[in-house]
A = this chain, B = another copy of it.
Amino acid sequence: MTTTAKLLLHCPDRPGILAEVTDFITVNKGNIIYLDQYVDRVENIFFMRIEWELAGFLVPQEKIEDYFETLYAQKYDMNFRLYFSDHKPRMAIFVSKMSHCLFDLLARYTAGEWNVEIPLIISNHPDMQHVAERFGIPYHVFPITRENKAEQEQKEMELLAQHRVHFIVLARYMQVISQQMIHAYPNRIINIHHSFLPAFVGAKLYHAAFERGVKIIGATSHYVTTELDAGPIIEQDVVRITHKDSVQDLVNKGKDLEKIVLSRAVQKHIERKVLAYKNKTVIFN
């Protein structure tokens, strides 16, 4: 498989952007293998994801970003990111005591489903150490108390930096992430929330769903922002329940939802198919 470049961008919509960008690629002998664009007509923003093969492309790989910046980004006031398929992003997993999401992430990783490296797992509890060991991934425990939280997060961030981690997956990590870490990884911390947001924020959500007597439960994967449970939603899904389901039944059904919804979101992130804008996401498919 040849190396490809993936370009994600957004800018105020103006005529000609799409034509110019595709022209830039085709004129320089790039073979476009993916193009999806979308115009948000309320905000008047143009979004695009374009992917092309680098074999034979006339602009050297290391200069593409610079050229694009000079030729188009300034002209169109673009916000863009360029990724290359020969570069593997590095992902950290944060986990507490539940194994279902962790197993699902690591099974996919081990099966080679994702173009990603997982250099470490971080937890506030030792419980999931055995899972990390089964997959041969270093597991670091940082117990968190009210008193040591800032300090421990500081150490975690140093560890993440040291491992050159690009993004973080909270696989049912039962701690609120501090602003400092969120700012260090903007739209690069993916959480799984065990309800159909915006229904049921906070904790004890399956109890709340049980009490309310809903007929469907859900799970939501979103980027973490400083407002709790309010970041851009990447993926959601639901499952039907009945009055016969106990809280424990809801927990069990919810776990299947959570792991699939989280893994779908992580996959889209890895494939560079998510573009967050304000508090929403554009999902390319």
Q: Which residues of A contact B (CB under 8 A)?
A: 15-16, 18-19, 22-23, 26, 31-33, 35, 37-42, 99-100, 103-104, 107, 110-111, 113, 131, 134-135, 196-200, 212-216, 218, 232-238, 240, 242-244, 246, 252, 256, 260, 263-264, 279-283, 285
Contacts of A38 in B (CB 8 A): 243-244
Is B256 a contact partner of A233 (Cβ separation < 8 A)?
A: no
A236-B214 CB under 8 A given contacts A19-B19, A99-B107, A113-B252: yes
Bound state CA distance, A107 and B236, in angstroms?
23
Q: Are A111 and B107 in contact (CB under 8 A)?
A: no
Please pick, from B33, B99, B134, B285, the residue contacting A242 in the complex, using a CB distance under 8 A.
B285
Q: Is the CB of A233 within 8 A of B218?
A: no
Contact of A35 among B37, B218, B243, B285 (CB under 8 A): B37
In the complex, which residues of chain B have a beta carbon less than 8 angstroms from the beta carbon of A23? 16, 19
Q: Given A38-B244, A256-B263, A256-B264, 7 other A-B contacts at CB below 8 A?
A: A19-B22, A198-B212, A212-B279, A213-B232, A213-B279, A238-B238, A242-B285
Do A198 and B214 contact each other (CB < 8 Å), given the known contacts A15-B32, A283-B242?
Answer: yes
- Picked from B200, B232, B233, B264, the residue with its CB within 8 Å of the CB of A198 is B200
A/B interface sample: 19 pairs, CB < 8 A: A15-B26, A15-B31, A15-B32, A16-B26, A18-B35, A19-B19, A38-B243, A103-B103, A103-B104, A104-B107, A134-B134, A198-B199, A212-B280, A213-B281, A215-B235, A216-B237, A242-B285, A243-B282, A256-B263
Q: Which of these, B40, B197, B242, B264, contacts A214 with CB under 8 Å?
A: B197
